[in-house]
Amino acid sequence: MSEYYPRRGRNWYTAMGIMFIVVGAIVIVRDLILIYPEFVLEFMYNSEITNEKVSLGMFAFGWDLERNMLKETLLKKQKILHLATIDTKGAPHLVPVWYKYIGKKFYISTNTKTAKAKNIAKNSKVCLCIDIGTWHPIDGMMCTGKAKLIKDQNTVKKIAGKILLRYFKSLKEKSAKQLLDQTDCVIEITPLKTRTWHY
Mean pLDDT of the 86-114 span: 96
Nearest to 189 by CA among 87, 82, 44, 88: 82
CA atoms within 13 A on the CB side of 108: 26
Its pTM stands at: 0.69
Q: If pLDDT is split at 50, 70 and 90, which confidence band does 15 have?
A: low
Q: Is the previous residue joined to 92 through a cis bond, with omega within 30 degrees of 0? A: no
Per the DSSP assignment, residues forming a β-bridge with 185 are 110
Tens-digit pLDDT profile for residues 115-158: 999 999 999 999 999 988 778 778 888 999 999 999 999 999 99
Report the percentage of the chain scoring pLDDT > 70: 64
Specify the pLDDT at position 76: 80
User: What's the pLDDT score for residue 46?
Assistant: 56
- Per-residue pLDDT at 68: 59
3-state secondary structure 113-179: CCHHHHHHHHCCEEEEEEEECCCCCCEEEEEEEEEEEECCHHHHHHHHHHHHCCCCCCCCCHHHHHH
The string of pLDDT tens digits covering residues 38-79 is: 555 555 565 655 555 555 555 454 445 455 555 677 788 889
Domain boundaries, the chain: 4-77, 81-198
Asked whether the predicted pLDDT for residue 33 surpasses 60, the reply is no
Largest CA distance in the chain: 71
The amino acid sitting at 73 is T
Q: Which helix (H) or strand (E) holds 65?
A: helix 51-77
Q: Are 123 and 145 in contact (CB under 8 A)?
A: no
Predicted local confidence at residue 127, as pLDDT: 98
Name the residue with higher pLDDT: 9 or 70.
70
The per-residue pLDDT for range 102-121, each reduced to its tens digit, is 989 999 999 999 999 999 99
Measure the CA–CA gap between 89 and 127, rounded to whole angstroms.
Answer: 17
One-letter amino acid identity for 63? W
Identity of the amino acid at 58: M
* Dist CA 155 CA 162 (whole Å): 11
Say whether domain 81-198 belongs to CATH 1.10.533.10.
Answer: no
pLDDT at 167 over 90: yes
Rounded Cα gap, residues 81 and 106, in angstroms: 10
- Asked if the model's pLDDT at residue 32 lies above 50, the reply is yes
